[in-house]
Amino acid sequence: MKIQKPKLKQQLKAQRLIVKLFFILKLSLQFLRFKFYLDLMIKQEQFNKLNEKMLLCSQCILRETCRTVVPGEGLIEAEIMFIGEGPGQKEDELGRPFVGTAGKFLDEMLASINLKREDVYIANVVKCRPPGNRDPLPEEIEACWPWLREQIKIINPKLIVLLGKHALEKFLPGQKISQIHGKALRRYIPEIGTYVFYALYHPAAALYNGSMREVLISDFKKIPAVLKAAEKPIKIENVNTNIKLKENKQGILFNFNE
Ligand code: SF4
């Protein structure tokens, strides 16, 4: 059958349009890929500079007794950031966070949710070891805050997991770890923005305490569900405003599917 000329013209026009659209799509994808790598390079550069400065810090008394500053480690593109208390003896020796027995326990719990430490970012509220592993003092946590603040801003995680009472007090002041563990809370903090926080017992505290250990393992297994919930807008029926924070601020507690 002979194709009529106007019809042939129309077909050619449609073909040209498809080729053009395909070309635009290809260019857009290349641009997005280029932008992704460029952003990543900028982020990495910012992070390297931050770590270089952090290693030279002597803003508080902890630097006088520790061997080295332990900035943190992991993926700078991480969706989940873990924040603990401070380096212990092993961490101080190796310059890496969570590498002692508590770190091994953390690795095991990460494996239980199919993650490795390279998939997340791990940091502490103080970057230098308190002498004799004592609790960090509020003024030391405050002195070290600018480093942690910048780490959070660069990584921009979807979920911040608070390990133990010191990390909890920094981000959700006035809360008790025994009451808030295993609960997720979305909160705006002026210096960093809005984040979802999820509180857990510290692995070092739970390591040799049978019941606390069980609770921690169980809470830890909920992390994937919390992450999923953190990505969604909050449904009004899931909002529980009973939770009061110091400074008259209120966080939003939300449920998640277990
Ligand atoms: S604990 Fe933080 S503020 Fe204090 S010296 Fe170490 S890095 Fe600096």
Q: What is the CATH number of the domain that holds 191?
A: 3.40.470.10
Q: Whose CA is nearest to atom 2 of ligand 1?
A: 144
Is residue 113 a part of any domain in this protein?
Answer: yes
Is residue 220 a part of any domain in this protein?
Answer: yes
Using CA atoms, how far apart are residues 245 and 185, in angstroms rounded to an integer?
Answer: 11
Instruction: Give the tens place of pLDDT for each residue, 3-58.
Output: 577 788 888 888 988 988 998 898 888 888 888 888 889 999 999 999 999 999 99
* pLDDT mean across residues, the chain: 89
Of all residues in the chain, the percent with pLDDT exceeding 70 is 88
* CA-136 nearest atom, ligand 1: 1
- 222-246 burial string, b = 16+ CB within 10 Å, else e? bbeebbebbeeeeeeeeeeeebeee
User: In this predicted structure, which of 68-72, 107-111, 211-215, 229-233 has the lowest mean pLDDT?
Assistant: 229-233
Task: Look at residue 127 and tell me whether its pLDDT is greater than 90.
Answer: yes
Q: Whose CA is nearest to atom 4 of ligand 1?
A: 60
User: Does ligand 1 lie within 6 Å of residue 143's CB atom?
Assistant: yes
Q: Number of folded domains in the chain?
A: 1
Instruction: Give the tens place of pLDDT for each residue, 133-192.
Output: 999 999 999 999 999 999 999 999 999 999 999 999 999 999 999 999 999 988 899 999
Using CA atoms, how far apart are residues 214 and 164, in angstroms rounded to an integer?
Answer: 15
Is residue 38 a part of any domain in this protein?
Answer: no
Task: Look at residue 250 and tell me whether its pLDDT is greater than 70.
Answer: no
C-alpha closest to that of 186 among 141, 136, 229: 229
Given this model, what pLDDT does residue 232 score? 78
Pocket test for ligand 1, best of 55, 60, 92 (most atoms within 8 A of CB): 60
Instruction: Give the tens place of pLDDT for each residue, 77-88.
Output: 999 999 999 999
Is residue 171 a part of any domain in this protein?
Answer: yes
User: Does ligand 1 lie within 6 Å of residue 127's CB atom?
Assistant: yes
Is residue 11 a part of any domain in this protein?
Answer: no
Ligand 1 centroid – CA 238 distance (Å): 39
Residue 124 sits in which domain range? 57-254
21 contacts: CB under 8 Å, gap ≥ 6: none
Is residue 183 a part of any domain in this protein?
Answer: yes
Is residue 32 a part of any domain in this protein?
Answer: no
Task: Look at residue 104 and tell me whether its pLDDT is greater than 80.
Answer: yes
Pocket test for ligand 1, best of 128, 141, 150 (most atoms within 8 A of CB): 128
- Whether the CB-CB separation of 166 and 135 falls below 8 Å is answered with yes
Using CA atoms, how far apart are residues 74 and 64, in angstroms rounded to an integer?
Answer: 26
> Which tokens hold the place of 235?
């449904």
10 Å CB burial of residue 103 (0-12, 13-18, 19+) is buried
Is residue 47 a part of any domain in this protein?
Answer: no
C-alpha closest to that of 122 among 73, 88, 177: 73
Instruction: Give the tens place of pLDDT for each residue, 199-239.
Output: 999 999 998 888 999 999 999 999 999 999 888 766 544 44
Ligand 1 centroid – CA 198 distance (Å): 25
C-alpha closest to that of 138 among 183, 185, 180, 170: 170
